[in-house]
């Protein structure tokens, strides 16, 4: 009886309605998931590196950090002693969009995960640590990455969400 009422082309319409309903349900549930991430507090995390913040102009960065080892319109590379380097990446307008610092040896100047992210992260069996936290409301993400081994490499990255 239902088959006669819907007809052969009607099944295509029913199928399309099911797909559209599923798509709309997914679309309306998406903001709920995003709002949970937006409520994350970023007050206890790293906001700058050596006084450099996202959005600063390249000229202001160079005034603060001095002349870079390698310089271009897109990025600067700094070398601070033998164990610390930094890359500062700029957008087309010359504003900082990424700050990435590498610490080559363990020591007092290497930041801990707690200093960077505001919380400790359990190391893996090899001693490595990785954690990334997104702050959509503030418009950036922050990561802490330490390799394992006797001479770990620690990388701290702060990047604008594009």
pLDDT in tens, 114-132: 999 999 999 999 999 999 9
Q: Which residues contact 5 (CB under 8 A, 6 or more apart)?
A: none
Q: Give the start-to-end residue ranges of the domains of the chain.
A: 1-39, 58-160
Lowest mean pLDDT among 38-42, 99-103, 146-150, 158-162: 38-42
Higher per-residue pLDDT: 79 or 19? 79
Threshold 0.85, pTM exceeds: no
% residues pLDDT > 70 (the chain): 72
Q: Which residues contact 103 (CB under 8 A, 6 or more apart)?
A: 83, 84, 109, 110, 111, 153, 154, 155, 156
User: Is pLDDT at 73 greater than 80 in this prediction?
Assistant: yes
pLDDT of residue 42: 67
Higher per-residue pLDDT: 55 or 42? 55
Averaged over 38-44, what is the pLDDT? Answer: 56
pLDDT of residue 32: 30
């Amino acid at each position: 009886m239902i088959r006669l009422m819907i007809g052969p082309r009607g099944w295509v319409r029913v199928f399309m309605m099911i797909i559209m309903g599923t798509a709309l349900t997914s679309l309306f549930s998406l903001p709920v998931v995003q709002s949970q991430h937006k409520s994350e507090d970023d007050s206890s995390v790293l906001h700058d590196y050596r006084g450099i913040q996202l959005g600063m102009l390249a000229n202001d960065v160079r005034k603060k950090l001095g002349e870079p080892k390698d310089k271009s319109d897109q990025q600067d590379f700094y070398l601070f002693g033998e164990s610390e380097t930094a890359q500062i990446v700029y957008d087309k307008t010359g504003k900082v969009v990424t700050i990435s610092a590498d610490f080559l040896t363990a020591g007092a100047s290497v930041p801990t995960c707690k200093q960077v992210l505001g919380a400790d992260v359990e190391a893996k069996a090899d001693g490595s640590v990785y954690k990334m936290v997104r702050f959509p409301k503030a418009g950036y993400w922050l990561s802490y990455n330490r390799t394992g081994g006797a001479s770990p490499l620690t990388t701290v990255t702060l990047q604008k969400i594009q």
